[in-house]
Amino acid sequence: MYDFRPAPGTPKPELYRQLHDAAEALTAGENDGVANMANVAALLWEFLDEVNWTGFYRTVGGELLLGPFMGRPACIRIPFGTGVCGAAAESRATQLVPDVHAFPGHIACDGDTKSELVVPVIRDGDVVALIDLDSPAPARFDAEDAAGIERLAAMLANRI
Ligand code: SME
């Protein structure tokens, strides 16, 4: 049995350290990317409060394709440059969006979503996947969340 849940009230730097270590341990020794993304999507869901979607999009055939996730069914294919995910893929940069309705072209997969954090997973200079986190709370994510997820993305780059 895996029980990686952090103690309630754990400060963000410690929370992300524990999340990173749990993801590192869960994906070590497994080279199937889908299995690893599935477990990390579940870990993100367990570790983070106030989220309604945690998961991955992969770059396949020059567009973003839905990967393993927790939450409601989502858009399957997203072109680079479209919405928050497409902006992260095209710019290769983290998108920290306090109000998704103010983001041009935002794709509403779940009408409850109010804020979003999208971090590219970059391997050999290419965006191979994205980590996407959605929240029903406005401005749920901050620079500490972005830094924690960016470190996770860097660790996963050769495991997904
Ligand atoms: N809101 C995203 C689409 C993906 S879903 O949130 C899972 C976007 O605008 O890119």
Distance 69 CA to ligand 1 centre (A): 12
The pLDDT assigned to 1 comes to: 58
Going along the chain from its start, the domains and CATH numbers come out as 12-156 (3.30.450.40)
pLDDT tens for each residue of 112-135: 999 999 999 999 999 999 999 999
Asked if 114 and 97 count as a contact pair (C-beta separation under 8 A), the reply is no
pLDDT tens for each residue of 79-90: 999 999 999 999
Helix (H, G, I), strand (E, B) or coil at 122: strand
What are the distances in angstroms from CA 122 to CA 104, 139, 145, 149, 155?
A: 24, 25, 18, 13, 10
Continuous segment of H or E residues that includes residue 62: none
Distance 35 CA to ligand 1 centre (A): 22
The pLDDT assigned to 5 comes to: 82
Q: Whose CA is nearest to atom 2 of ligand 1?
A: 107
Q: Is the CB of 132 under 6 A from ligand 1?
A: yes
Q: Whose CA is nearest to atom 6 of ligand 1?
A: 109
Distance 65 CA to ligand 1 centre (A): 11
Mean pLDDT of 138-151: 98
pLDDT over 70, % of the chain: 99
What are the distances in angstroms from CA 18 to CA 59, 101, 149?
A: 28, 32, 12
From the alpha carbon of 82, which atom of ligand 1 is closest?
10
Residue 7 has pLDDT above 90, yes or no: no
Residue 8 has pLDDT above 90, yes or no: no
Q: What is the pTM of this model?
A: 0.95
